Structure 1
Amino acid sequence: MSDSAPEGSAADAFADRAQAAHGDSIRRLVVFGDAVRGDDRGVHTSVEVLLVLEDATEDIERELEALGETVGLEHGVVFSVHILPVDRFESQTDHPFIRTALEEGTSYV
C-alpha cells in the first residue's frame, strides 16, 4: 500500500475522474471489494468497479480500465473494472455478480 494516499480514497478518486471524463455516458458506477469494505487483511487489497454505460465503446472501455490501473498504482490497490452496456445490465440484474455489486457496493451514480 502507498503511504502517500489513503486506500479509502481510491474509490472516490476513481469515481471522480471517471465522472469527469465520461459522466454523460455513465448510468451506474458502483464500487465494492475488500478495499472498499476495509477488509484488506494487510496482504492484497482490491476495488471492484461495476460501470454501466449508455455508450460503451472500446475506446471508453480502454480509458476506464487504464484509469483503474492508474488510480490503483497511486493508492496501492488493484482495480478490476467491469463495464456493461445499459441493456445488458437491465436484462441481467439477477446475475450474482450484479447482485453482489449492488448489495455490497457503494453507488456513486
Structure 2
Amino acid sequence: MSDAPPQGDAADAFAARARADYGESIRDLVVFGDAVRGDDRGVHTSVEVLLVLMEADEEIERRLEALAETVGLEHGVVFSVHVLPADRFDAQSDHPFIRTALEDGRSYV
C-alpha cells in the first residue's frame, strides 16, 4: 500500500492553487482523465486539465504547466495540461476533445 495521496486530491490541489494564483485569468478549469473517472487501477495515473484563459498569455500558460508538474510530483500523478484562449475555445466548442472534457470532467471554475 502506498502513502501517496489519492489522485483525486491531486486534481483538487491543482485546481485550488491555480485558482488562487491565476484565478483572474482563468475562465474555465475542467479536470478529467482516468484518475478523475476512478478507473486508474492504481497505475499510470493521469489527470488531464482543460484550462480556458480569458485571453492568450504564454507566460501564464507556462506557469500553469509548471504548477501542474509540481502538483503531479507531490501526488504521484502525471498531468496533461491543455490551454486554450476563450475565443478559440468558443469557436471550437463542438470539437470532440472539448466535448469529452466537458461531459466527463469535473469543473472547478
Is the shorter-chain TM-score for this pair beyond 0.5, marking a shared fold? Answer: yes
Question: What is the deviation of 1:92?
Answer: 0.4
Pairing 1:88–2:85 present: no
SS of 1:23's equivalent in the other structure is helix
Q: Quote the residue 2:25 is aligned against.
A: 25
Gaps of at least 5 residues in structure 2 are none
Task: Give me the whole-angstrom Cα distance separating, in 2, the residues matched to 1:90 and 1:42.
Answer: 35
Q: Which residue of 2 is the match for residue 41 of structure 1?
A: 41
Q: Any stretches of 5+ residues in structure 1 without a counterpart? A: none
Give CA-to-partner distance per residue, 1:33-82, whole Å, 9 cap, x none.
00111111222100000000013311101100001100101111100000
Aligned-residue CA RMSD in angstroms?
A: 1.4
Distance 1:67 1:88 in 2: 23
**Runs of 4+ in structure 1 displaced over 2 angstroms?**
none
Q: Please name the residue that 1:79 is paired with.
A: 79
Could you say which residue in structure 2 is the equivalent of 1:99? 99
- Taking structure 2 as the reference length, what is the TM-score of the superposition? 0.95
Normalised by the size of structure 1, how large is the TM-score? Answer: 0.95
- Alignment-mate amino acid for residue 55 of structure 1: E
Amino acid corresponding to residue 24 of structure 1 in structure 2: E
Task: Verify: 1:108 aligned to 2:108, yes or no.
Answer: yes
Which AA in structure 2 matches 1:107? S
| Aligned pairs, number | 109
Deviates further, 88-97 or 1-10? 1-10
% identical aligned pairs: 79
Q: Identify if the C-alpha distance between structure 1 residues 26 and 4 changes in structure 2 by more than 3 Å, giving closer, same or farther.
A: same
